[in-house]
Chain A
Amino acid sequence: GAVVSQHPSWVICKSGTSVKIECRSLDFQATTMFWYRQFPKQSLMLMATSNEGSKATYEQGVEKDKFLINHASLTLSTLTVTSAHPEDSSFYICSAPGPNGYEQYFGPGTRLTVT
């Protein structure tokens, strides 16, 4: 089956620094990838849609200048949390539609802790 990886799986950073999270489709191409955020004991909320070769589409309330998304190739999307603050601490999960078009494949998630 289709596999999506994320790196790193967890990261701790100091307030004010930037953190980059990678999302890779390992055995299929993904022109679109989705980034979700999950706060403790809450559901997944879509942050943005990453599009290969064009700008990302952000959901309402998500700061595009703070959460930089780059879809560098057909297998890689990156999310950079700039000037991170403790309130950005969360579980970040990416997904990509698989070759069949209806199933989405999720990465294992990245736990970000900002101190």
Chain B
Amino acid sequence: AQSVTQLGSHVSVSEGALVLLRCNYSSSVPPYLFWYVQYPNQGLQLLLKYTTGATLVKGINGFEAEFKKSETSFHLTKPSAHMSDAAEYFCAAHSGNTPLVFGKGTRLSVIA
């Protein structure tokens, strides 16, 4: 069964600092991997996805993630945090036409 682990329920960074949100997956087959952002009282917004091909994936708002099969990881990064990046971030995975399995989420705080 698919599972997704997000290390750190809360990450706090200074404005302008590097953002690193960690995600590991457990799967017997390489999954499709996603990062979503959720602002308070809103739905999910897709940041980026990995399906096949290039392992470094660029998304919206300056975010990117690298699929590392050997580490079963899909960590999300952004070189320079902005106040507007403060939100809840979810890593998710599935292996085909199946429901997404979500990590528990990481709340990102950005300090001025």
Interface residue? A69 (CB, 8 A): no
> Would A97 and B97 be within 8 Å (CB), given that A43-B102, A102-B51, A103-B49 are in contact?
yes
Task: Give the residues from 10 to 37 in chain B that come closer than 8 angstroms, CB to CB, to chain A.
Answer: 32, 34
Task: Give the residues from 58 to 87 in chain A that come closer than 8 angstroms, CB to CB, to chain B.
Answer: none
Q: How many cross-chain pairs have Cβ atoms below 8 Å apart between A and B?
A: 46
Chain A neighbourhood of B100, CB < 8 A? 34, 44, 46, 95, 104
Range, interface on chain B: 20 to 34
Number of A interface residues, CB 8 Å?
20
Please classify the interface of chain A as helix (H, G, I), strand (E, B), loop, or mixed, using the class held by over half of its residues.
strand
Interface residue? B44 (CB, 8 A): yes
Q: Give the nearest-CB partner of A110 in chain B.
A: B43
Q: Say whether B43 contacts A107, CB under 8 Å.
A: yes
Which A residues have a C-beta under 8 Å from some C-beta of B? 32, 34, 42-46, 49, 93, 95, 97, 101-104, 106-109, 111
